[in-house]
Amino acid sequence: MIFAVILWGSISLSDYYYTNIDVKLTLTNFPEGYTTGSQLPEKIKLRVRGQGWKLVSLNVGPESEFRISVAGDSGRQHLSLLNYLESNRWLISDVDIINLFPDSIKFNVERIITKKLPVAPELDLEFKPGYGLASDIKIKPDSVLVKGPFSYLKTMKEIKTSEMRISQLDSKTSTALNFPGRFGFEYSSNVVNVNLDVQRIVDRQFDGIIVDVTDVPAGKDVVLLPNKININVRGGIEILGKLNSDEFKAYVKYQTLFRDTTGSVAPELILPKNVTLQFSKPDRLRYVIRSF
What span, in angstroms and rounded, lies between the C-alpha atoms of 57 and 51?
10
Instruction: Count the alpha carbons within 13 Å of 273 in the hemisphere toward its beta carbon.
Output: 2
- Compute the mean pLDDT over every residue in the chain, rounded to the nearest whole number: 88
Instruction: Assess whether 103 and 118 both reside in one domain.
Output: no
Sign of CA dihedral 141, 145, 151, 155: positive
Mean pLDDT of 86-115: 84
**Per-residue pLDDT reduced to its tens digit, 43-92:** 999 888 877 766 766 655 566 788 888 877 778 888 998 888 888 877 66
The answer to whether residues 116 and 162 belong to one domain is: yes
Q: Are residues 262 and 185 part of one domain?
A: no
pLDDT digits (tens, 9 = 90+) for 207-221: 999 999 999 999 889
Residue numbers of the domain that contains 86: 2-110
Tell whether 150 and 75 lie within a shared domain: no
- Looking at the predicted structure, is the pLDDT value of residue 2 above 50? no
Q: What is the pLDDT of residue 87?
A: 82
**Same domain membership, residue 22 and residue 54:** yes
Q: Do residues 188 and 229 share a domain?
A: no
What is the total count of domains within the chain?
3
Domain boundary among the residues 174, 199, 224 is at 199
Q: At what angle do helices 2-14 and 52-60 cross, to 10 degrees?
A: 90
Does position 236 have pLDDT exceeding 80, yes or no? yes
CA-based angle 131:134:139, to the nearest 5?
Answer: 115
Residue 163 CA to residue 181 CA, distance in Å, equals 12
The answer to whether residues 58 and 97 belong to one domain is yes
* CATH code for position 220: 2.170.120.30
Given 85, 110, 135, which residue is the final one in a domain? 110
Average confidence (pLDDT) over 186-202? 96
Q: What single-letter DSSP state applies at residue 208?
A: E
CATH number at residue 142: 2.170.120.40
Q: Residue 134's closest CA among 196, 70, 208?
A: 196
How many whole angstroms separate alpha carbon 251 and alpha carbon 245? 14
Task: Report, in angstroms and rounded to the nearest whole number, the Rg of the chain calculated over CA atoms.
Answer: 34
Distance of CA 64 to the CA centre of its chain: 31
Last residue of some domain: 110, 132, 166?
110
Give Cβ neighbours of residue 1 (< 8 Å, ≥ 6 apart): none
How far is residue 144 from each of residues 56, 147, 178, 196, measured CA to CA in Å?
A: 44, 10, 12, 20
Looking at the fold, whether 236 and 178 belong to one and the same domain comes out as no
The 10s digit of each residue's pLDDT in 243-255 is 999 999 999 999 9
Do 100 and 125 share a domain, yes or no?
no
Which of 39-43, 116-120, 155-159 has the lowest average pLDDT?
39-43
**Structure confidence at residue 292 (pLDDT):** 81
- Cα 152 from Cα 188, distance rounded (Å): 17
Same domain, 92 and 179: no
Task: Please check whether residues 47 and 89 belong to one and the same domain.
Answer: yes
Got the DSSP string for 11-79?
HHHHSEEEEEEEEEEEEE-PPTTEE--S---SEEEEEEEEEHHHHHHHHHSSPPEEEEE--S-SEEEEE
Mean pLDDT of 254-261: 92
Q: How many Cβ atoms are within 10 Å of 209's Cβ, its own excluded?
A: 19
Mean pLDDT, residues 120-128 taken together? 96
- Asked whether the beta carbons of 134 and 274 are under 8 A apart, the reply is yes
Q: Are residues 24 and 93 in the same domain?
A: yes
In percent, the amount of the chain with pLDDT more than 70 equals 90
135-192 confidence digits (pLDDT tens): 999 999 999 999 999 989 999 999 999 999 999 999 999 999 999 988 889 999 999 9
pLDDT given at position 61:
55
